[in-house]
Amino acid sequence: MSTQTPSPAPASTARASEDRSARIAVTIFPALILVAAAIGFFAPPVGQALAPFTSIYLGVIMFAMGLTLTLPDFALVVRRPLPVLIGVVAQYVIMPLIGLGVSLLLQLPPELAVGVILVGCAPGGTSSNVICYLAKADTALSVTMTSISTLLAPLFTPLLTLWIAGSYLPVDAGSMALSIVQMVLIPVIGGLVVRLIAGRLVDRVLPALPWVSVAGISLVVVSVVSGSTEAIVSAGAIVLLAVVLHNGLGYLLGYWGARLLRQGERAARTTSVEVGMQNSGLAATLAAASFSPAAALPAAIFSIWHNLSGAVLAMYYRRSADRHQVDPA
């Protein structure tokens, strides 16, 4: 009888390779985004040449996200509906209201206020799943929350933006919803279908998908920053403050909201990350298309900041788990 250890299944090997690639990508992601922002600021013609294609970049990011999904990722909706519901509701309640509160507190001008609020009305960020993994949170729950909030974005993002930001600038909710369907919903569903049809082929390219997202968001940032150089010079510091408050309060209220609703430690961490990290690439693209490049500035800065803060939060949660012996299983 052979005593050799069986080799891992191809899907398991692909998933492990994807996790390693994602950890590396999310670690250097902020540095790449900073480089992209510098290119946009110091070489505006480069960004202006890229700007007409921002919706395509976002579509590629969302298609890559769809390729990472499988039907079991949605099974938690049936098996554990309460934590999923809490996370998705918190996503679309806490962050839009924080965005409005920060805008009022800092007395932001209309374009910047709309940009901050739009970031809050966006679905969960694609890098939140890796941050949850690094934080010893519930990665499966994170994937489900991100997926559901993304699929609901064509409905909730335009409506919430209209209700909350409509007093600052006119909002064409119908046009925004159509854009989200085209840039988000169709590519995500397309990626999921391709994964179902050609799963083995997709498993081979899974390790490259985090880098596709990094490249796509970097191109969006270059485009947005190149059209916002004047706004950065005049209001960059106040926008950074708004982003830091928005993101930090999202983490805090997401965590304690889940705990007050009697969710466990790992589910609360997951909700914290999902609420605090937004799909800033989508927010930047929508802001630039629906309002102005200046309105996209908060989302561009959020792209940099929430990955830096997410990495620090993951480190804190991970050390806290080790210190209190939280079972990662």
Phi–psi pair at 124, nearest 5 degrees: -65, 150
Q: For residue 25, what pLDDT band results from cuts at 50, 70 and 90?
A: low
Considering only CA atoms, which of 149, 161, 104, 151 is closest in space to residue 289?
A: 161
Report how far apart, in Å, the C-alpha atoms of 191 and of each of 152, 163, 203 are. Answer: 17, 32, 13
- pLDDT (0 to 100) of residue 14: 52
CATH of domain 14-323: 1.20.1530.20
Compute the distance between CA of residue 231 and CA of residue 237 in angstroms, rounded to an integer. 10
Going from N- to C-terminal start, the domains of the chain cover 14-323
Query: How does DSSP classify residue 182?
Result: I
Report how far apart, in Å, the C-alpha atoms of 73 and of each of 70, 143, 147 are. Answer: 5, 7, 8
Compute the distance between CA of residue 226 and CA of residue 19 in angstroms, rounded to an integer. 33
On the question of pLDDT at 51 being above 90, the answer is no
- The answer to whether 74 and 66 are in contact (CB under 8 A) is no
Listed range (94-98, 130-134, 136-140, 295-299) with the worst mean pLDDT: 130-134
Compute the distance between CA of residue 324 and CA of residue 297 in angstroms, rounded to an integer. 40
Select the more confidently predicted residue: 10 or 252.
Answer: 252
Mean pLDDT of 16-23: 57
Two tokens at 134? 């690094």
- pLDDT (0 to 100) of residue 113: 94
Considering only CA atoms, which of 55, 172, 65 is closest in space to residue 118?
A: 172
Mean confidence (pLDDT) of the chain: 84
Considering only CA atoms, which of 155, 26, 134, 135 is closest in space to residue 88?
A: 155
Select the more confidently predicted residue: 245 or 211.
Answer: 245
Select the more confidently predicted residue: 13 or 142.
Answer: 142
Q: Specify burial of residue 190 (Cβ count, 10 A radius: 0-12, 13-18, 19+).
A: middle
Q: What is the pTM of this model?
A: 0.83
- pLDDT (0 to 100) of residue 16: 55
- pLDDT (0 to 100) of residue 164: 93
- pLDDT (0 to 100) of residue 298: 93
Q: Where are the alpha helices (DSSP H) in the chain?
A: 10-42, 44-50, 54-67, 76-79, 81-106, 110-121, 128-134, 139-165, 173-180, 186-197, 199-205, 209-226, 229-260, 265-276, 280-290, 293-324
Compute the distance between CA of residue 19 and CA of residue 10 in angstroms, rounded to an integer. 14
- pLDDT (0 to 100) of residue 1: 42
Considering only CA atoms, which of 304, 314, 311, 303 is closest in space to residue 269?
A: 314
Considering only CA atoms, which of 280, 215, 241, 223 is closest in space to residue 29?
A: 215
Compute the distance between CA of residue 30 and CA of residue 243 in angstroms, rounded to an integer. 15
On the question of pLDDT at 235 being above 90, the answer is no
- The answer to whether 125 and 305 are in contact (CB under 8 A) is no
Two tokens at 96? 């839009």
SS3 5: coil
CB atoms closer than 10 angstroms to residue 24: 15
Select the more confidently predicted residue: 11 or 163.
Answer: 163
- pLDDT (0 to 100) of residue 3: 40
On the question of pLDDT at 247 being above 60, the answer is yes
Select the more confidently predicted residue: 30 or 5.
Answer: 30
CB atoms closer than 10 angstroms to residue 151: 16
Select the more confidently predicted residue: 126 or 5.
Answer: 126
pLDDT tens digits, residue range 172-225? 889 999 999 998 899 999 988 998 898 888 888 887 877 787 788 888 888 888
